Amino acid sequence: MTSQRLINRTQFRHRLARAARLGDRQALFLLDHVVDELIDRLHMVNRSFDTAIDISGWLPDLSDQLVAEKIAASTRRFAPFLGDGRPAAVIDDEVLPLRDASADLIVSVLNLQFANDVPGILAQIRRALRPDGLFLAALVGGQSLQELRACLTEAELAEAGGVSPRVAPFAEVRDLGALLQRAGFALPVTDLDRLTVRYAGLPELVRDLRAMAATSTLSDRDNRVPPRMLFPKAAALYAERYGAENGRIPVTFDILWMSGWAPHDSQQKPLRPGTARTRLADALGTDEITLTDDSEPK
């Protein structure tokens, strides 16, 4: 029996092709922001990588910057579409064309939230890294688009008497560290960067989501024509509940960051229990309290 996949990957590829043809560079501000942040984080690592692999998507900017910033000597980019919408290297969220131990650095920007099998992808990335190689990725998650989700849900209940999933569920930052450990990464780190973007209204937000190939591709979404008043009702609710005095509406984007290293003997390792040479009380500048068997301070 085949389990239901969350994301319709065929529909997602159609969304990417449309976004590539639109070429609305101004709407890709979120991608630009995350790429800049990723470059800054890699500079903080203070290391040059021989071979880097970019599995971010259909824009070439990141691969070019990795070389221009002298972070990587060479890069390979795996993307479903070229900049003009023509198919490029065909990849999906199940099998990535990565050879074992073929890269020192693998990066992904705003792509993994569209995958059906993130644990499987991480396992493949881990195998593709050479020892002491780095994986660094950013994906949309957490409470992203929470305002849109709430308003669409209430509007559809009012207009249709039921709800169809229109905003995909997102990963939480607390889950990503466990996934990295499960895939075999050493020194896993996760964190969250919350951005609030203000739009003139719901139509402008939907336009940018379409340009980012980020409109719904859920497998179980209702493909029927939505009620005529669904989006006007949602827009009115959005403005009423979240709108500012100047009429603009806030949109939450949570960017989840995850990084991990392929294990290597040179990496720092935690001490075995009982081998510490410094008392915690000394480090905290306090007195040590010994407890008796009945747990009363002595």
Q: Which residues contact 277 (CB under 8 A, 6 or more apart)?
A: none
Which strands sit side by side in the sheet containing 103-109, from one edge to the other? Answer: 72-77, 49-54, 103-109, 129-141, 249-261, 186-199
In a domain, 231, yes or no: no
In a domain, 33, yes or no: yes
| Residue range 150-157: mean pLDDT, rounded | 92
pLDDT at residue 13 tops 70: yes
pLDDT tens readout for residues 90-105: 455 567 888 999 999 9
In a domain, 228, yes or no: no
Q: Which residues contact 274 (CB under 8 A, 6 or more apart)?
A: none
pLDDT at residue 31 tops 80: yes
pLDDT at residue 297 tops 60: no
Q: Considering only residues 68 and 167, tell me which one the structure prediction assigns the higher pLDDT.
A: 68
In a domain, 154, yes or no: no
* Residue ranges making up the domain that contains 49: 9-144+170-199+252-284
In a domain, 1, yes or no: no
Which CATH number covers residue 26? 3.40.50.150
Rounded to 5 degrees, what angle do the CA atoms 280, 281, 283 make?
A: 65
| Residue range 40-55: mean pLDDT, rounded | 92
In a domain, 119, yes or no: yes
pLDDT at residue 66 tops 60: yes
In a domain, 243, yes or no: no
pLDDT at residue 32 tops 50: yes
| Residue range 105-120: mean pLDDT, rounded | 90
Q: What is the mean pLDDT of the chain?
A: 83
Q: How many separate domains does the chain show?
A: 1
